[in-house]
Amino acid sequence: MKRKRFALMSERFLTGSFKIQITALIIFTLVIVVAGSIFIVFFREHRFFDALWWSFLRITDPGNLAYDMRPSVRLIGSIVAISGWVIFGLLISIISTAIQSKLNEMQKGRSAVHYENHTVVLGWNQNVFSVLDELVGSQDRDDAPVVVMSNKSPEDMFNGIRSFCKPETVKNVVCRNGNPESSIDLKRVNVVKADNIIVLNNHLELGLFNADASALKTMLALNKNIKDYEAEKTVDHFDKEKHIVVEISQPAYLKFVEGIITVDSKNKIKHYPIVMTEIFGKILTSCALQPGMSNIYDELFSYHSSGKYNGTDTSEIYLRSLSSFGIKEKVKFEDLIFGFDQALPVGFKKVGEDPVLNPRVELNENAIYLDPADELIYIADDDRVLTYVEPSDLPTTEVMTDLKNQDAFEKKNVLVLGSGFKAELVVNELCEFLDVGSEITCSDIIEARIKATRNNHKSNGEIKLHYHDMKKIDSILFHLIEGKGGGFDLIIFADEIIDPNNYDARSLMILAGINSAFKQCTKKPRIVMELFDSKNAELAQTANADDVIIGSELLSNYLVQITRVPERHAIYEELLTAGGSELYIKPIELYTKEDKILSFKELMVSARKRNEIAIGYTYEENNQFRYAINPPPNMRNIKNEHIQKALVIAEDYT
């Protein structure tokens, strides 16, 4: 029995943790030192405490045996010295094993992180590199690194980040291997101490249903971690608000996700499920109908880089309480619009209410007043604190408020290339924005779904829909276009990205086919297409694509914007959805009489007379398209004869 117990203890020592092994080794060392001391005292060589020191010296340095003279003392000293060799051999072995184990753990990405107030990205998909670039670009230098955890090996993740991300991103990203659906693995990335958590949706590898099911399980694991942390630490609430942004593939699955979400205001934990395909479909439609709009969305959704055609600094949407601007009493919203020289107010959010964009102009007793606790929605080039100055001496302008934008009444013949949810969404959005008498040709695969939802469209029965066999699109595309006699005004690429590596090549091939089909036509359609890789954008433009949208970058920037300021999601939804106030690019003739040259401040005044808010304008410089959003103070009062169109937030395109 004693032999079995000793064997069990030995096994526990050899296979135990680093702490157990070190503790056992210390105990063994003390036993040897004390035993050697007792024998030395027995032979009356030293007193007990001197004997302890004698025994310790023989364990640490066998060379001290040379000072021992009596044979019995030499024998005891030799036994103690040999035990010391064993002790230090075991110590070196334990330490080297622990170091090697730690290195292996780090190489496999299994070690824990101890950052706080950091951002965690859970999962891996084709947009992860753009997400990481935007996250790192949006944070301060002193912020904790961005932590990524997925089922991939850290080596594969790092190789991808080094290949596709910016150098600054490579320095500020930490990769960990683990299952985002496991509450145990989530503890290793310290999700309970993270400020922001992004759950990516990998529907290309998992499929639509499985990807959303995975996102759902990840949310459950996050909730379990947070509840366990509260129970262990007896925490009643978190000091800072925690945002969990979850990417969902299709709206049909959103209801399942919402069924498990509990907005815990007590603990300041909020979930934000976002259907990214739906968001992109709306953006794609807006960009297709309004040339140059893709540059505007690139600008608003990006933190760290101005658009290629932008003449000013990058600008984003922010929310701040009026009190942060030094406002201590009620103030009219109309005064706020003209009260900042480095920002452009576009709406407000009263306490406990939904945000309001572009409120209608109300005068006298009906004017809209805001309290200091209410939040102002504004566009600025960064999140710095601004100073409000009560406006005076606003310019006077003459504008025909009943003048209509004739571009809005043009009938369009549109071809939508795609057979998935994105194409369906684009067709439905087109039915909301196109004028009566327009025609849309799209895939017969989405015919049933479009008919099922078309009863809700305001243009039901007023826009003709035609269907073609999308399964044979590659072989019949040329004949389809030629058969229409070049009658399409607009062609929109809205197919699903199943294989990112082949998607761009296939799109460019179709684009070349369209060019061939319209080679003999005097009227060529406007072509708007999505590409996955930004490197292919120049190739598409060389092949006469009018507008190229890099969906992965645009959606990644949008996702990061919502992660940093979740309240933006409601604002962007209104800007992208028909029925509220949207972004429009309108002719400058709507805001001035007889080709009068306007300054931006005069444009702002004219826009308010039309119940709109001007946020910028487009112009030409060296025969190139340029735009300015939130022009700086020195550009607001200068009359600009090159202004061509106004960029406004308005209720409709007219």
Condensed to tens digits (0 to 9), the pLDDT of residues 538-581 reads 888 777 788 888 888 888 888 898 988 888 988 998 888 877 89
What six digits make up the tokens of 425? 């969404």
Task: Give the pLDDT confidence score for residue 67 in this predicted structure.
Answer: 67
How would residue 106 be classed by pLDDT, with cut points 50, 70 and 90? Answer: low
Structure tokens at 76: 């005891």
CA–CA separation, 427 and 443 (whole Å): 10
Mean pLDDT of 425-447: 87
Return all residues near 332 (Cβ < 8 A) that are at least 6 apart.
367, 368, 369, 370
Triad 81, 82, 87: Cα angle to 5°: 90
In this structure, the dihedral spanned by the alpha carbons of residues 446, 447, 449 and 453, taken in order and rounded to 10 degrees, is 130
**Dmax over Cα atoms in the chain, in whole Å?**
120
pLDDT at residue 146 above 60?
Answer: yes
Q: How many CB atoms lie within 10 A of CB 437?
A: 14
The pTM of this model reads 0.78
Closest to 257 (Cα-Cα) out of 281, 301, 222: 222
At which residue do the structure tokens 């406002």 appear?
327
Quick one: what percent of the chain has pLDDT higher than 90?
15
User: DSSP character for 612?
Assistant: -
458 confidence band (pLDDT: 50, 70, 90): low
**Residue 535 burial by Cβ neighbours in a 10 Å radius (0-12, 13-18, 19+):** exposed
User: pLDDT, tens digit, for every residue of 262-289?
Assistant: 545 455 677 888 888 888 888 999 999 9
Q: What is the pLDDT of residues 307-353, one digit of tens each?
A: 555 656 678 899 999 999 988 899 999 899 999 989 999 999 998 88
> For residue 299, what is the enclosing H or E element?
helix 293-301
To which residue do tokens 């959606």 refer?
Answer: 555
pLDDT at 632: 87
pLDDT digits (tens, 9 = 90+) for 332-345: 998 999 999 899 99
pLDDT tens digits, one per residue of 62-84:
766 666 667 777 777 777 777 77
91/25 Cα distance (integer angstroms): 7
Residues 548, 529 contacting (CB under 8 angstroms): yes
Mean pLDDT, residues 281-303: 88
**What span, in angstroms and rounded, lies between the C-alpha atoms of 141 and 153?**
27
In this predicted structure, the answer to whether residue 306 has a pLDDT above a threshold of 60 is: no
Distance CA 356, CA 502 (A): 42
Confidence (pLDDT) at 594: 67
Provide the pLDDT confidence category of residue 9 given band limits of 50, 70 and 90.
low
Distant-in-sequence, close-in-space partners of 489: CB < 8 Å, separation ≥ 6: 412, 413, 414, 525, 526
227-271 confidence digits (pLDDT tens) = 777 777 655 555 667 788 999 887 777 777 766 665 454 556 778
d(CA 533, CA 459): 36
Residues shown for the chain: 654
Which of 81-90, 437-446, 476-485, 567-576 is least confident? 476-485
Q: What is the pLDDT of residue 34?
A: 80
Residues 6+ apart with CB under 8 A from 62: 81, 84, 85
CB 543 within 8 A of CB 512: yes
Q: Per 3-state DSSP, what percentage of the chain is helix, strand, and coil (rounded to 5)?
A: 50, 20, 35
Q: What angle do CA 623, 625, 631 make, to 5 degrees?
A: 120
- Say which residue, 177 or 469, is predicted with more confidence: 177
pLDDT digits over 31-57, tens only? 877 877 777 777 666 677 777 777 777
Residue 357 has pLDDT above 60, yes or no: yes
Give the Cβ contact number of residue 3 at 10 Å: 7
Mean of per-residue pLDDT scores for the chain: 81
What's residue 13's pLDDT? 53
For 502-551, how does the pLDDT look when each residue is reduced to its tens digit (9 = 90+)?
888 888 888 887 777 777 677 788 889 888 888 888 888 777 788 888 88
10 Å CB burial of residue 553 (0-12, 13-18, 19+) is buried
> At residue 640, does pLDDT exceed 80?
no
Element (H, E) at 376: strand 375-380
Q: What angle do CA 398, 399, 400 make, to 5 degrees?
A: 135
When pLDDT is cut at 50, 70 and 90, the band that residue 461 belongs to is low
- What is residue 485's predicted lDDT score, i.e. its pLDDT? 47
